[in-house]
Amino acid sequence: MKKNIKVILFLGISLLFKITLNAQQKVHTYVDPMIGSEGIGRVFIGPSCPYGMVKPSPDCTVSPNSGWLPMPKEVTGFSQVHVSGTGGGPKYGNIQIMPFSGTLDKLDQTAYRSEENVKLGYYQSVFKENGIKTEITTGEKVSFYRFTYPKNTSKELKIDPGFFLGEQPEPDGREAQQFVGSQIEIVSNTEVRGYSRIRGGWNNGRAYTVYFWAVFDQPIARSVTWKDGKLYADEKTQFDSGKKTAALLSFGNTGKEELNVKIGISFLSELKAKNNIQVEIPHWDFNAVLASLENKWENLLSRIQLSKDTSDEYKKMFYTGLYHTMIMPVDRTGENPLWTDNEPYYDDFYAIWDTFRTSSPLITLIDSKRQVEIVNAMINIYKREGYLPEGRSGNDNGRTQGGSNAEVVLADAFVKNLKGVDYELALQAMLKDATVPPGGNEEKEGRGGLIDYLRLGYVPYGTDRAGNRTIDYSYNDYNIATVAKGLGRTDLYSQYMKQADSWQNLWRDDYENQGSKGFIMPKDKDGNWLDDIVFGESKIQKPTFKYTPVIIESPWYVCHWCVFFYEGNSWEYSLSIPHDVPELIKKSGGEKAFENRLNTFFNSDLYNVANEPSFLTPCLYHWIGKPYLSSDRIRTIIKNSFNSSSEGLPGNDDSGAMSSWLAFHMMGLYPNAGQPYYLINTPLIKETAIQLENGKSFKITTKKMSDKNKYIKTALLNGKPYDKAWISHEDLSNGGELILEMDSKPSKWGTALLPPLK
């Protein structure tokens, strides 16, 4: 008997150990959607499938981009479509619902949270005023709500297709969303349908329509509809007449306290929204939907495994970084109202100026088949609308911030040999950007100032964002040259490699600032350097100011988009030449002068980790044979600027740009987007294993790494000495292991074989 008890006890302990081990292996549990939710990170905190079209979460007034604000801020309701981490004006916040208890006599049912709980795929809160608990999970195109009302209270619900984020009192406010129309219909005692039509927002886009179909697991007992400030007790429909509409529903105070609601969303029609429910979530099992969502994320996130001794802090930062990277762009395949074909359709490239640097390369690494779809969607947008997207949202291109940066994404896919892309057509799309002015749509697509750029070799002062446009166009031309060379177009290769040097035409060799010489500076159409810049557009008074490399802010009366450098200064942009760092070093006075320049940049607080043009800058020490200095800078930046708190991101996440920057550096890799290699830095994680979609795996392993031993002494790639501080995408894709032996002081490793030249 005792023997049997021991056997049973042993089996029980073994089973418990296996269960515990399995639980530890679920990496999605380390994702904390709240990281970066406060401060200026602006991340979306609600549930979302990878690249999911539906993103339900609370709206706390019409102001925040992601909808959410921390307690004690009020909640006006829960909308079904949101963005994540964006700057500028809000977008979406469509089809809002709100549970309440009481009479159907007013539209405003604002309430305050007494508690809130957020994890991957799940949102939960309880309201102070009425004790109603809201739980949310989601599918790809269907939101699932579980409302629990206090016992013996009535169950009411508001559905408001007239609500949207970014509404402003003045009409046609720039970057504000504008109401166009809405409609609502109570179809049966368990169904409501309608739509919201909105225009504008961050990209000043044309009108988009979000259709919905809502289904309830309890019958409606009473209802009223609402339109333009008035309630209608006997009308089940409010048609679109350019006025806001809504409905208030009561499910009575009998039966179960739990009300389940499914809301299908579509950009095509109400019936398509209904079909999305039938296809995606035909049942009423909330927990099954949540489990399915968790499994989708687990499948993606677990493709990168961290060593078991990695701290929970680092696991949270890393896996949340991966998670944020794959929330946008949004997969709307089968939901495109503009044209019908079999190509994938993605929206909310928000904006490629931010995401091309790290987000796209990280998706390529983790989810390369998805990246092929995204690239093909970009090319198809060019086929149908004439230009590649840059900041597309709400089914409309807009807006450009610098270059035509979709070209970097296409070039990155090409040099990393992603299969399933028509690269001849991709080259045509890139050449369209580079040769055809967008004809008054410079803010929406293409290249603004293109005629001057081709004639003068630079964009002259007076054209919006002339400085960073010149720099970006130079890199975009390099991207064109790269693809052209690979496709055997030597004529195009020669032409665009020459144009890739255009940034040098704004390089003022003799300009000195803080001990460094040579900066990208303003030049007029006649080739004159401009020391004094005119502010404003007055034809009578023309106040001027002295332009220096540290100028970054414009006075209130100068358009934010009309400056020489967008969101930065010459110190930052003069170090942002990703395709020609050797020439940049030469123009800065050589390696020693360049090292001093970098040290001044970081030590004098000129570096801004939140500004994407400076993303690569901490790694520039690689090109002077001192990769250990890059590693020192990166570790300091992460220590001072990133953590696992709700304020754990130092700037707008910008659709995962900030998060992917962090994730790459934690692995010890960093891409130079559009080029086929990764720079190697000291990892923050002792061992990282990447499962590639080709069935192979690549492992980065450190030996003797500690806070003291933070420098790479030697490296082995697949058992052979490896002396380069960079690794090709091909070598990584072939699988294997990179072993980094660490030491307490810098070594000669990586100092001789510099990163590839252009």
Q: 307-342: buried (b, 16+ CB within 10 Å) or exposed (e) per residue?
A: beebeeebbbbbbbbbbbbbbbbbbbbbbbbeeeee
Per-residue pLDDT of 519-576, as tens digits, reads: 999 999 999 999 988 776 667 777 788 899 998 766 655 677 788 998 899 999 999 9
The verdict on 205 and 150 lying in the same domain is yes
- Residue 703 domain flag: no
Q: How far apart are CA 338 and CA 348, in angstroms?
A: 15
Tell me, yes or no, whether 700 lies in a domain. Answer: no
Smallest CA-to-CA distance from 566 within 517, 617, 520, 534 is with 520
Write down the pLDDT at residue 758: 59
Exposed/middle/buried for residue 407 (C-beta within 10 Å: 0-12, 13-18, 19+): buried
Instruction: Tell me: pLDDT of 756 over 90.
Output: no
| One domain, residues 284 and 382 | no
Number of domains forming the structure of the chain? 3
Predicted confidence at residue 16, as pLDDT, reads 47
Contact between residue 606 and residue 648 where contact means Cβ atoms under 8 Å apart: no
The per-residue pLDDT for range 284-312, each reduced to its tens digit, is 999 999 999 999 999 999 999 999 999 99
Tokens at 384, concatenated: 């149908």
Domain assignment present for residue 749? The answer is no
* Tokens 């990878």, located at residue: 50
As a whole number of angstroms, the distance between CA 237 and CA 254 comes to 26
Query: CA-to-CA distance for 629 and 484, rounded, in angstroms?
Result: 35
Residues 231 and 309 in one domain: no
Q: For the chain, what is the total number of helices (H) and then of strands (E)?
A: 18, 31
Tens digit of each residue's pLDDT (9 = 90 or more) over 358-390? 999 999 999 999 999 999 999 999 999 999 999
Which distant-in-sequence residues (6+ apart) come within 8 Å of 502 by Cβ?
453, 457, 458, 470, 473, 474, 477
Same domain, 383 and 430: yes
DSSP of 720-731, one letter per residue?
EE---SEEEHHH
How far is the C-alpha of 475 from the C-alpha of 578, rounded, in Å?
Answer: 7
User: Other C-beta atoms within 10 Å of 486: how many?
Assistant: 15
Domain boundary among 261, 279, 298: 298
What would the mean pLDDT of 673-679 be, rounded to a whole number? 97
Task: Output the pLDDT for position 628.
Answer: 97
Closest CA to 91 of 446, 338, 392: 392
> What pLDDT is recorded for position 24?
62
- The percentage of the chain sitting over the pLDDT mark of 90, rounded to a whole number, equals 87
Cβ-contact 73, 29 below 8 angstroms: no
Q: Does residue 49 share a domain with residue 18?
A: no
User: Containing domain of residue 471, as a range?
Assistant: 304-680
Cα–Cα distance between 209 and 338 in angstroms, integer?
A: 11
Would you list the DSSP string of 130-168?
Answer: T--EEEEEE-SSEEEEEEEPPTTS--EEEEETT--TT--
Q: What is the CATH number of the domain that holds 248?
A: 2.70.98.10
Residue in the block written with tokens 């990769």: 627
- State residue 560's pLDDT score: 75
Domain boundary among 629, 645, 680: 680
Q: Does some domain include residue 582? A: yes
- Measured distance CA(434)–CA(414) in Å, rounded: 18
* Whether the predicted pLDDT of 14 surpasses 90: no
Q: What is the mean pLDDT of the chain?
A: 93
Q: How far is the C-alpha of 174 from the C-alpha of 169, rounded, in Å?
A: 12
Q: What pLDDT is recorded for position 43?
A: 96
Same domain, 270 and 172: yes
Question: DSSP H helical segments within 302-340, as ranges?
Answer: 312-325
Per-residue pLDDT tens digits for 146-178: 999 999 999 999 999 999 999 988 878 888 999
pLDDT at 398: 86
In 3D space, the residue among 163, 165, 166 whose CA is nearest the CA of residue 196 turns out to be: 163
pLDDT at 712 over 50: yes
DSSP code at position 87: -
Tens of pLDDT along 390-405? 999 999 998 888 999 9
List the one residue out of 159, 156, 160 whose CA is nearest residue 244: 160
Give the whole-angstrom CA distance, residue 520 versus residue 466. Answer: 11
Does residue 291 fall inside a structural domain? yes
Whether 288 and 262 have beta carbons less than 8 Å apart is answered as: no
CA distance 634 to 617: 10
- pLDDT at 89 exceeding the cut of 50: yes
Q: What is the pLDDT of residue 567?
A: 87
Sequential DSSP letters for 12-63 = HHHHHHHHHHHHHH-GGGG--TTTTSSTT-----S---TT-S---EEE-SS-
List of residues 6+ apart from 407 with CB closer than 8 A: 388, 430, 433, 434, 476, 479, 480
387 falls within a domain: yes
Per-residue pLDDT band at 13 (split at 50, 70, 90): very low
The separation between CA 122 and the C-alpha centre of its own chain, rounded to angstroms, equals 20
pLDDT for residue 67 is more than 90? yes
Cα distances (angstroms) measured from residue 207 to each of 96, 161, 337, 382? 18, 15, 12, 20
Q: What's the average model confidence in pLDDT over 509-524?
A: 96
In a domain, 248, yes or no: yes
What secondary structure letter does DSSP report for 75? B
Q: What is the pLDDT of residue 169?
A: 84
104-119, pLDDT tens digit by residue?
A: 999 999 999 999 999 9
Which amino acid, residue 502? S
Return the closest-CA partner of residue 358 out of 427, 409, 319: 409
Residues contacting residue 566 through CB under 8 Å, at least 6 positions apart: 401, 402, 465, 468
Answer whether the bond into residue 392 is a cis peptide, omega within 30°. Answer: no
DSSP-assigned beta bridge partners for residue 184: 194, 238
Model confidence pLDDT, tens digit, residues 176-191:
999 999 999 999 999 9
∠ CA 256-258-262, nearest 5°, is 130
Q: Report the interhelical angle of 406-415 vs 368-385 (nearest 10°).
A: 130
CATH number of the domain enclosing 555: 1.20.1610.10
What pLDDT sits at residue 266? 98
CA angle, 561 as apex, 560 and 567 as ends, to 5°? 75
What confidence score (pLDDT) does residue 426 get? 98
- Residue that terminates a domain, selected from 680, 714, 733: 680
In sequence order, which residues have a C-beta less than 8 Å from that of residue 223 and are 6 or more positions away? 104, 186, 236, 247, 248, 249, 250
Q: Could you please report the per-residue DSSP string of 240-265?
A: -SSS-EEEEEE--SSS-SEEEEEEEE
Residues 606-664 have pLDDT tens digits of 999 999 999 999 999 999 999 999 999 999 999 999 999 999 999 999 999 999 999 99
Same domain, yes or no: 449 and 339: yes
Report the run of H or E that residue 79 belongs to, with start and end.
strand 77-79
Residue 87 CA from chain centroid, whole number: 11
The answer to whether residue 712 is domain-embedded is no
Q: Is residue 293 located within the same domain as residue 361?
A: no
On whether both 11 and 52 belong to a single domain, the answer is: no
| pLDDT at residue 554, as a whole number | 64
Maximal C-alpha separation, the chain: 104
DSSP state at residue 742: E
> Which one-letter DSSP state was computed for residue 350?
-
First-to-last alpha carbon distance for the chain, in angstroms, is: 77
Instruction: Please check whether residues 409 and 490 belong to one and the same domain.
Output: yes
- Alpha-carbon distances of 433 from 400, 410, 447, 633, rounded to whole Å: 12, 13, 6, 36
Q: Is the dihedral of CA 553, 556, 562, 567 positive or negative?
A: positive
**pLDDT of 17 higher than 60:** no
Are 16 and 39 in a shared domain?
A: no
Residue 457 has what pLDDT? 98
Distances (CA, A) of 71 to 33, 38, 99, 102, 639: 16, 11, 18, 24, 27
Residues 202 and 315 in one domain: no
Region of 612 (left: φ > 0; alpha: ψ -120 to 50; beta: rest) is: alpha
Question: What single letter denotes the amino acid at residue 312?
Answer: D
pLDDT surpassing 80 at residue 494: yes
